[in-house]
Chains A and B, each alone.
Chain A
Amino acid sequence: MNEAHDLGGQHGHGRVVAEKNEPVFHEPWEGRVHALMNLARRAGLFNLDEMRRTIEQMPPAEYLRASYFERWLDALERLIAEKGGEPIKPSSSPTTRPPLDAHFKVGDQVRTRNANPRHHTRLARYARGKSGVVELIHGPYPLPDVRAYGKALTWQPVYTVRFRAQELWGGEGDPHDSVSIDLWEEYLE
């Protein structure tokens, strides 16, 4: 889905402001929420991709206005409502990783799909329909597009693909620079 979380390349968000001597949590409730999200996930209430999908479903204006832990709190409420507060059935819990069966090899030129799926995905908008080179191969890892809905795991290789900055940004990109992105096999063609 093309939601507010997909921030790469957007303009207008202003300067990066670093806080000096930043505490781990600014308020006690933030620590509680961080713990609750992690413990509920470990208890099998939802998986990481369901968590991300739910955070991303926050209406765009709210997403941008909310603090990080406000988003988590909102997502926790919605995940619990969706799941009825019961652990997910064992069939969708992690299974054994199959052997790596990679279609591409290091050095291959690949192109990302130009797609705008109506489901959760980890192919950022700024990297769609772009050409790059396979730099590293990992996994396989469960495809988030499927796991985000609690379905049976679909394992795919993940490739670190390096894109020249000018491929991504045209003349605005620096000719020396690159962005490397981790992409599931299905995102490539």
Chain B
Amino acid sequence: MSHEHPHEHGHAPLSDLEARALAIESLLVEKGLITSDAVDRHVYRYEHDIGPVIGARVVARAWSDPAFKDRLLADGTAAIAELGIESPDLHLEVVENQPGVHNLVVCTLCSCYPWYLLGLPPVWYKSAPYRSRAVIEPRAVLHEFGLDIPDETQVKVWDSSADLRYLVLPERPEGSEGWPEERLAALVSRDAMIGTGIVAIPEAVRP
């Protein structure tokens, strides 16, 4: 996608940040460590190929196939490999929401996130407000996302600080019995797999 090169627009002067990024790219290309084509392909992949639809497919399979769900909870890395999804040297731990248990994932130290299932994290996930508050006042954070967790429900926060990545397996919504996997997957949002959302059938789709 060479047309996306900032330096090839040619008209507006480069901003300071653009110029600095370009200087690094030029240096690494000159040293033979990378190619600009590889940079283009990387950007394209993250903008078009990798995103929450991959994680949603895993969730829909787990809802549809109890044996797969058991394997997914026992060894997430091996189970997603069955679906052709690789987790590059990072172990996947899948944590299940159930009546009385709500899981929430954060990385207080940086931005650890199962990008190979969900794409790159949104800005809020990497922001100081989320990273500071998710561990000390998860219920207040969830309230801001529109989730009011009942007092007696246990909120389990997972601060991913090592080589593990966490995916929340949300509860399957009532009324979705018998739905095919593709239809189920379309219900599953990124936030539901982080734990800042739940899965619901939109009003318009309900009978």
Contact = CB atoms under 8 A, between A and B. Distances in A.
B162 A19 contact: no
Contact of A8 (B17, B39, B93, B108): B108
B17 A29 contact: yes
A77 B28 CA distance: 11
Given A8-B132, A29-B6, A45-B33, A160 B109 contact: no
A31 B43 contact: yes
B163 A8 contact: no
Size class of the contact patch on chain A: 35 or more
B38 A39 contact: yes
Interface residues of B, number: 64
Prevailing SS type, chain A contact patch: mixed
B129 A17 contact: yes
B111 interface: yes
B25 interface: yes
A16 B6 contact: no
B183 to A, nearest CB: 23
A22 B39 CA distance: 22
A6 B132 CA distance: 8
Interface in B97-143: 108-111, 119-120, 122-124, 126-133, 135-139, 141
Given A29-B17, A36-B24, 10 more contacts: A9-B132, A13-B129, A24-B120, A29-B6, A85-B33, A122-B162, A123-B161, A158-B163, A181-B161, A182-B159
Interface of B: 4-6, 15, 17-18, 20-22, 24-25, 27-28, 31, 33-34, 38-39, 42-43, 46-47, 51, 91, 93, 108-111, 119-120, 122-124, 126-133, 135-139, 141, 144-145, 151-164
Interface of A: 5-11, 13-19, 22, 24-25, 27-29, 31-36, 38-40, 43, 45, 52, 55, 64, 67-68, 70, 73, 76-77, 80, 85-87, 122-124, 126-127, 136, 138-139, 141, 158, 160, 162, 168-169, 172-174, 176-184
